[in-house]
Structure formats: structure tokens, C-alpha cells
Structure 1
Amino acid sequence: MLLLRQICLLLFAVFYLIDARTQSVAVKGRLLCGTAPARNVRVKLYDEDAGVDPDDQLDAGYSDANGNFQLSGHTSELTNIDVVFKVYHDCDDGIKPGSRKLKFKIPNSYVTDSATPKKTFDIGVLNLETVFKDEERELIVTMKKKRRSHRYQDFLDILP
């Protein structure tokens, strides 16, 4: 029975490596907090996976001094990737713990079958004062130091 299980896992791994295809996506936009640019707002691009396959972070960064951001990334999957753009911010949030967390689905028409995106989804200007219907909160953020750039990268989102 153990041998049969190992053979099945090996066949699955070979099938996955052979049939997986590289897919990429890019998103850009501008963030405001009221009429002012939302500076240094954390943004992430993910491929959300169902089941036991963990979500793949495609890219992460921060908005610039004008509130602008641009993210892009790629991953290999058997099926079409389901890309979401996440924003973590404290605009119009008072003294509540954690950050407000927004999530937007990127249209499949912006996913490219290559390591480099051919199109960029322009999400436009988002005013973060808006209260979105499915808004969540992120209560704990763990920081991880990158070796080369000595910048900090967030890698743990406790709440989905």
C-alpha cells in the first residue's frame, strides 16, 4: 500500500511538472486617502488556490509618494491562475488595531501565458476612505528581512 501511494505521488509530480504552464499578470493604479495620495501603502498580488495548494504571492510592494503602485509576477500552474490584488491600509481608520484589508479580483483577460505580462490591468484611482462591502482586517503582520536589499518584506497574513 505504501509503495502504491509513493508511485501515485511520483506520477502526480511528473504530471504536474510536465503540464504546468507559466502564467503572468501585472496591475497598476493610484491610491488616495481622501484628496491626498496614500503613501507607503502595502500592496500584494496573489494567485489564490483552492484546496491544499497554498496561495502563491506573485509580487508585493508599497505605493510611492504620489500613491502610485505597479506590481507584476508569474507562477506555474496546471489550471488558470486566479489573481487577486490586495491592499493593506489605515486610511480613515482611527486607532483600531491592525490594518484594513481590501481584495480585488483581476480579470482573467489580463493573465498572459508567459513569464512576462503582455498587458497591465489599470485598476484606476482608489479612494481608500471608501468602506468596501467585503473589507477585512489584518491584525498581525510579521516582518522578514531580505538579505540583499535589507528592506523588510511582509510574509504572513493572519486573516484571509
Structure 2
Amino acid sequence: MLRSACVVLLGLVAVTSAGEYAVGVEGVLMCNGQPYGDAKVRIYEVDTLHDDKLAQTFSSSDGHFRLGGHQSELGGITAKLNIYHKCEMPAWKRILPICYYKATFPIPKRYIQSGNTPNEFYNVQTIELSMHAKGYDCINLIR
């Protein structure tokens, strides 16, 4: 009985000591010098086993995006920005319309803040998608 109470108490301490952390990113996407709209843009909290999606949006027709999210976690979070796009994708790869190139960018720790809402957004400026390494992703199917 005492052992069960200790386990419950430790669990409550862990939950109540978890902090809320927020992160936001903004920027512009280009493909060969032209604004790139409708790219899927996501912020993930990086974990050892499974990364947690914190926020998602799509770039506007002029290439702009802005998104923010938050996560409750013990000891802080590490975050990354994933961009799913078809910039310079050869026609033969477009046969599977569910597959995208994926560009990943780490988000500096200084843009991860305490709370539910980011106060300062990480401005990645302009990202020219044709200039970045292209991983291939067919898993992130859901819009």
C-alpha cells in the first residue's frame, strides 16, 4: 500500500514539475527564385523514440509561413522545422502524389520559451528549397 502511494506521489511530482515550452518559426519559401506556396510546414519536438508534432501550416501563395506550438515536457525541449515540398521533383517521382521532399532545420534553443505562446519567432528569412538536401518522405500523408 505504501509502495503504491509512493509511486502515485512520484508520478504527480513529475507531472506537476513538467514545464510548458513554446516555439515559433516564420519565413519565406522559394523554388528557383519563385515564391513556393502550399508547402507543408511543421514544427516537431525532438524525442528519442518519436518526435511530437507541435504545429503545422502551409505556405501561402507568396511563400510566407508563420506557425507556433507548445509542449509540456520535463527539462525543456529540442525543436526542429520540417518542410515538405515538391520543388524540383522529377516527373517520374510525382507518380506517387503522396511523396514529398523533406528539408529539416534545427531551431536554436534561444527561440524555445517558457509558456504556451511564443513571444519571439525564429525568422529563417528566405529558404531556397532547390539549394537544400532533399530527403524523401512518403509517410506524412495527412494534410
TM-score tier, shorter chain, comes to: 0.7 to 0.9
Structure 1 residues 101 and 12, CA, compared in 2 at 3 Å: closer, same or farther?
A: farther
Equivalent residue of 1:86, what SS? Answer: strand
Between the aligned partners of 1:131 and 1:90, the Cα distance in structure 2 is 12
Equivalent residue of 2:110, what SS? Answer: helix
Tell me by how many angstroms 1:12 deviates.
4.8
Unaligned runs of 5+ in 1: 144-152, 154-160
Alignment pair present for 1:114 and 2:130: no
Alignment pair present for 1:136 and 2:111: no
Structure 1 residues 103 and 9, CA, compared in 2 at 3 Å: closer, same or farther?
A: farther
Decide which structure has greater helix share.
2
Corresponding residue to 1:70 among 66, 71, 79: 66
Alignment pair present for 1:80 and 2:79: no
Between the aligned partners of 1:84 and 1:12, the Cα distance in structure 2 is 31
Name the structure, 1 or 2, with higher relative contact order (CA <8 Å, separation 6+): 2
Equivalent residue of 1:24, what SS? Answer: strand
Aligned to 2:29: 31
Q: For this pair of structures, how many residues does the alignment match?
A: 137
Corresponding residue to 1:61 among 51, 57, 60: 57
Instruction: Report % sequence identity.
Output: 28
Alignment pair present for 1:123 and 2:121: no
Partner deviation per Cα, 1:43-92 (whole Å, 9 max, x = no partner):
000111124xx322111010001000001011111011101000000000
Farther-moved stretch of structure 1 (64-73 vs 123-132): 123-132
Alignment check: 8 A CA contact 2:103 2:132 kept: no
Unaligned runs of 5+ in 2: none
Please, what is the CA RMSD of the aligned residues? Answer: 2.0
Please list every run of at least 4 consecutive aligned residues from structure 1 whose deviation after the TM superposition is greater than 3 angstroms. 6-12
Structure 1 residues 141 and 112, CA, compared in 2 at 3 Å: closer, same or farther?
A: closer
